[in-house]
A and B are shown apart, each in its own frame.
Chain A
Amino acid sequence: MLSIKDLHARIEEKEILRGINLEVKAGEVHAIMGPNGSGKSTLASVLAGRADYEVTSGTVQLNGKDLLDLSPEDRAREGVFLAFQYPIEIPGVSTINFMKTAVNEVREYRGLEPMDAVSFLKLMKEKMKLVEIDESLLKRALNEGFSGGEKKRNEIFQMAMLEPSLAILDETDSGLDIDALRIVANGVNKLKTPNNATIVVTHYQRLLDYIVPDFVHVLYKGRIVKSGTKELALELEEKGYDWIKAEADAQTV
């Protein structure tokens, strides 16, 4: 589904991704872990098409299509979804209105008729239940005055509405209490099908108790320095990142 080859990216003059290689197949959950500043969030942003980053070399393909050539909206329409680490507050735009626009823009791209109000409402109610979010929240201005947990739940709600083939969760666990974490993780798990894939970017192993990964990769200094299964995450939790840093630094010397 997703194939990243030798991806290099920088912001201004600083190179942050320095040769990422990653293959993600349909039905898989991949966790990207790593110490602060290792490039985890940059990778998520670059995949979603944030303009601040310049891709200097490498390729990213989604279902055979070159992702890097596409605008952020077209990437979303092709099935990429980024759950933001810090979802922005947008006064004056309600989540419902925004989602109506987004869902229909995606449908139009795929050559489908726009969804009528009744079907939209039905879909919305169904997805609301899935992520345990209240309708009153969705009628309010997007994320405005939402708590951290509400914002993240809203992200997963939007993900449910858009049904992406590739979901990238950027530190979705940051700042969540255990209940919020459980609700968010439950939502993600319920949305999992054999046809989609999830990349979970996180600093802590905790989230992976709830969203169980098939593969765990450790990012350090802009490269994936170690890959393994969920046991790797447990090992990291126990021993921290220093041993991996030491290993990786020794190899480059």
Chain B
Amino acid sequence: MTTELKESLLQHFNTLEKTSSALLTDVRKEAITAFQDLGFPTVKHEEWKYTNLKNTLAKSYAIESAAALSAEDLKSLTHLPIDCYKVIFVNGIFSPALSSIDGAEATIEPFNAGNQEIVQANFGKKLPYNDSMVSLNIAFAATGTLIHVKAKKHVKKPIVCFYLSDVRTANVFAQPSVLVVLEEAASATVVEMNRSLGSNTAFTNAFTHAILKKDAYLEQYKIQNDIDNSNFIHNTQIVHEGKSNSYTTTITLNGGLVRNNLHITLDAEHCEAHLNGLYLEKGAQHVDNHTLVDHAMPNCYSNELYKGILDGKSTGVFNGKIWVRKDAQKTNAFQSNKNILLSKEASVHTKPQLEIFADDVKCSHGATTGQLDPEAMFYLRARGVGEDKAKKLLVHAIAFDVLDKVKHDELRAYLEQEIEERLK
């Protein structure tokens, strides 16, 4: 599909090639060719069947536009009542000047000549399959950001990446690229939040690539609670290179069209991956969670729980792939997706996809979609609780089931409050 945005991106790439540094040249050239061939995904692509970018792509966007955020704007956009390091991206570009990362037990800096060795060795490598949105991001990732935690270092405070879009004067297309490398026995908590200022359309195509070496530990949170006009595609690739553990929590509370591609590769024995998700939808929201857990090696464990609560005319998609490769004996892989539809016009497409090529494994999956339990509703109402409040109690209960799994106490308290606010 040829769109105005595609054309201007290809043009922009050529302009950049003449001026920018030689960082990641080969991988970026490969990526732009892949994007040129594949184009933006359409509903004809199996993986994009229920998520239509047509309306989003029909608009004109400013690409990599500069923005002047006042101190006050910044303060309100990056408000977060927890003690953390703040990594600020404006319209896709990391701004060290606006960030507060002093004292971080990690290197947080733009890709540059000094870190190109580690970037080139890791960024954009070992992707499970071609997705044109990932290619598109990589093509422009010369301006990417590295979060590097040295061996045996523990980053004490969460590193919070704010993907800010300034859409006060125009629609903005932004592509933050982040490479997280946790060396041996390193640990970190990385939070990613997208927020927009203004009322035009923010279209963000983010790519986060995390590499976990032996005994590394990553806690990752995506908190998506942006304006209605925010269309957000987040591609996440976590590669467990050595025996390591990851906890990923994706919480979507507001936005327009949201698509999360979360791919986890368990590429060493005895890895653990936990994937949790919650999407609370209303109005015309569309939230699509595509997850893939690739069990490439034996003796690994993965556990996935996604819950959705959909109101209004909102639509949801859950596609959960689990691959258990031939060599991945003794795999334990579990997956569950539960959806509650609060209105007759809300809908959800849920599809678990297990592909198992090993014979000695334990795998289970389940997907349910239904209304709030009428028996539970009657019970609560028969004790004097009004219909609306009873609904809220039950919806809360579903949401808190996922929140229970958030390990960071301050973050959990914050999320509880945000959800409380969202359900009012």
> Could you tell me which A residues sit within 8 Å of B by CB distance?
48-51, 71-73, 75-77, 81-82, 84, 87-88, 90-93, 97-99, 101-103, 105-106, 109, 141, 158, 162
- The answer for the CA separation of A101 and B400 in the assembled complex, in Å, is 17
Majority secondary structure of chain A interface residues (helix, strand, loop or mixed): helix
Task: Check B381–A73 contact: CB distance below 8 A.
Answer: yes
Task: Tell whether B398 is near chain A: CB-to-CB under 8 Å.
Answer: yes
B370-393 at interface with A (beta carbon < 8 Å): 373-376, 378-387, 389-390, 393
- The answer for the CA separation of A101 and B398 in the assembled complex, in Å, is 18
- The answer for the CA separation of A91 and B404 in the assembled complex, in Å, is 12
By a CB distance below 8 angstroms, the chain B residues around A141 are 397
Task: Check A105–B398 contact: CB distance below 8 A.
Answer: no
User: Which chain A residue shows the least CB distance to B374?
Assistant: A51
- The answer for the CA separation of A77 and B400 in the assembled complex, in Å, is 28
Task: Check A93–B393 contact: CB distance below 8 A.
Answer: yes
By a CB distance below 8 angstroms, the chain B residues around A109 are 384
Report how many A-B pairs have Cβ atoms within 8 Å.
Answer: 75
User: Which chain B residue shows the least CB distance to A89?
Assistant: B376
Task: Tell whether B396 is near chain A: CB-to-CB under 8 Å.
Answer: yes
Closest 9 CB pairs of A and B: A92-B397, A76-B384, A72-B381, A106-B384, A102-B383, A73-B381, A93-B397, A102-B384, A88-B379
The listed residue with most B CB atoms (<10 A of its CB), out of A84, A97, A98, is A98
Q: What distance in Å separates the Cβ of B332 from its nearest Cβ neighbour in chain A?
A: 24
Task: Tell whether B193 is near chain A: CB-to-CB under 8 Å.
Answer: no
Answer whether A91 and B397 are a contact pair too, CB < 8 Å, given A72-B378, A84-B379, A101-B389: yes
Task: Check B398–A158 contact: CB distance below 8 A.
Answer: no
Task: Check A73–B387 contact: CB distance below 8 A.
Answer: yes
Which of B379, B384, B397 interacts with A77 by CB under 8 Å? Answer: B384
Answer whether A92 and B381 are a contact pair too, CB < 8 Å, given A71-B387, A98-B393: no
By a CB distance below 8 angstroms, the chain B residues around A51 are 374, 378
User: Which chain A residue shows the least CB distance to B393?
Assistant: A93
A–B pairs, 8, beta carbons within 8 Å: A48-B382, A73-B386, A73-B387, A90-B397, A92-B400, A93-B393, A98-B380, A158-B383
Task: Check B387–A92 contact: CB distance below 8 A.
Answer: no
By a CB distance below 8 angstroms, the chain A residues around B382 are 48-49, 72-73, 75-76, 81-82, 84
By a CB distance below 8 angstroms, the chain A residues around B378 are 50-51, 72
The listed residue with most B CB atoms (<10 A of its CB), out of A91, A141, A158, is A91
Q: What distance in Å separates the Cβ of A171 from its nearest Cβ neighbour in chain B?
A: 16
Task: Check B381–A101 contact: CB distance below 8 A.
Answer: no
By a CB distance below 8 angstroms, the chain B residues around A99 are 383
Task: Check B380–A92 contact: CB distance below 8 A.
Answer: no
Q: What distance in Å separates the Cβ of B76 from its nearest Cβ neighbour in chain A?
A: 32
Task: Check B387–A93 contact: CB distance below 8 A.
Answer: no
By a CB distance below 8 angstroms, the chain A residues around B386 are 73, 105
By a CB distance below 8 angstroms, the chain B residues around A82 are 382
Task: Check B394–A93 contact: CB distance below 8 A.
Answer: yes
Answer whether A101 and B387 are a contact pair too, CB < 8 Å, given A76-B381, A84-B379, A90-B379: no
B394-411 interface mask toward A, CB cutoff 8 Å, 1 = contact, 0 = none? 101110110000000000
Q: What distance in Å separates the Cβ of B424 from its nearest Cβ neighbour in chain A?
A: 15
Task: Check B387–A98 contact: CB distance below 8 A.
Answer: no
By a CB distance below 8 angstroms, the chain B residues around A88 are 373, 375-376, 379
